[in-house]
Amino acid sequence: MAKVVHGGVTDSEIAAARARGLDPVDLSASLNPYGPHPSVVKAAQEATFARYPEADAHTLRACYAASAGVEPACVLAGNGSTELFYLITRAAAATGSTALILGPTFGEYRAAVEAAGMEHVEWRATPPRFAPLLDEWSECIARSKPRLVFFCNPNNPTGAILARDQVERLHTQVRDHGGTLVVDEAYMDFAWPEEQGMQQPRPGLAVVRSLTKLHAIPGLRLGFLLAEPDFIAEAERHQPSWSVSAPATAAGMQALRQASFALESRQRVAESRDRLKRTLTAAGLAMGPSMANFLLIEAGNGARARAALLERSWVVRDCASFGLPGHIRVSIPRDDLADRLEQDLVECLR
């Protein structure tokens, strides 16, 4: 199994930039620029370290279930979304089974599929719009009859989103061919409107959510799987005890109480995103119709553009690891940094 390249900034890059007198702003990881909320940080810092956390994180799972309006038996907490993808493939794998990956997208899906001994098929959207094509997806599903279909909504790195009624149609097709649709909604918190999400468990559907993007706590690793109880039980059978640490549990429970912070963050990010899209489009730059908290921008040479922007104290994502070497992914910054980012992007890319 090949190691997945994620392309975020490294500590050594930050140190080297600072040694040259730069003060890098990290826009490579696609986090809420206004987080984390101080109460979430405090909760993690004050967590109990002298005892083991709950082996199955059942209190946290119950809290998340209440916030999502589902039964606790329909929720599994994990050490980030990535662990959950590995648990899903292990729960669903069967001899000779196939997974369909709708790309270009997050590399851990393929890694999880390979780790479970499954075959994989990939369908890739094409630039510049990276439009989801349900008819082509239907043909792939009918032809390969996949046990699992991985779909990120909004997609990483394109930001493209599929409306809920279209996801329902996709789910029906996958289920009717005996498979399960895995919808990764890590960035759904930043989409507009909110009701695009697919949280109600039903046959043939597994939804993965994350608190680390909206609440800017990726170092704590915390994700949730929502599915029917039987699927949750089978996935949990493959999960080690204590996957969710005490600090992650405490931070997660506190984050679930921050409804006002979450709403305000969504609104501010959406406003900055839409403004940035208008400015860059008017300047002649091409990008997809992102509804996430990042933009995928044509750059000609992504690595060169990343290096040029780093010299202006911006760290962005070179998308070569997604199979898109001519693109960069740029997270939405705080609104007080938006003007400078707009100017530097136009000057470096146009």
Predicted confidence (pLDDT) at residue 274 exceeds the cutoff of 90: yes
pLDDT above 80 (res 199): no
Per-residue pLDDT for 197 more than 70?
A: no
Mean pLDDT (the chain, rounded): 94
Q: Name residue, tokens 């789910």.
A: 171
Got the DSSP string for 218-233?
Answer: GGG--EEEE--HHHHH
The answer to whether the beta carbons of residues 180 and 206 sit under 8 Å apart is yes
DSSP assignment string, 34-85: T---HHHHHHHHTS--SSPPPTT-HHHHHHHHHHHTS-GGGEEEESHHHHHH
The identity of residue 134, as a single letter, is L
Specify the higher pLDDT residue, 203 or 350.
203
pLDDT band, very low/low/confident/very high, at 84 (cuts 50, 70, 90): very high
Residue 87 near residue 243 (C-beta atoms within 8 A): no
The percent of residues above 90 in pLDDT, for the chain, comes to 86
With 80 as the cut, is the pLDDT of residue 31 above it?
yes
* Whole-number CA gyration radius for the chain: 20
pLDDT in tens, 144-154: 999 999 999 99
How many CB atoms are located within 10 Å of the residue 253 CB?
Answer: 17
Averaged pLDDT, 36-40: 98
Average pLDDT over residues 152-162: 95
Determine the pLDDT at residue 2. Answer: 62
pLDDT score at 248 = 98
Residue 8 has a pLDDT of: 77
**Are 38 and 59 contacting, i.e. CB atoms less than 8 angstroms apart?**
no
**Measured on CA atoms in the order 194, 195, 199, 205, is the torsion positive or negative?**
negative
Lowest mean pLDDT among 2-11, 58-67, 134-143, 162-171: 2-11
Compare 124 and 17 and report the one with higher pLDDT: 124
Least confident stretch, 16-25, 233-242, 253-262: 16-25
Walk me through the domains of the chain, giving residue ranges and CATH numbers.
11-28+259-349 (3.90.1150.10), 40-255 (3.40.640.10)
Q: What is the average per-residue pLDDT within 251-269?
A: 96
User: Residue 194's pLDDT is what?
Assistant: 60
Return all residues near 318 (Cβ < 8 A) that are at least 6 apart: 7, 302, 303, 305, 306, 325, 328
For 305-314, the CB contacts below 8 A with 24+ separation are 305/348, 305/349, 308/348, 309/344, 309/345, 309/348, 310/13, 310/17, 310/22, 310/24, 311/22, 312/344, 312/348, 313/17, 313/22, 313/23, 313/24, 313/25, 314/24, 314/25, 314/27, 314/341, 314/344
pLDDT at 260 over 70: yes
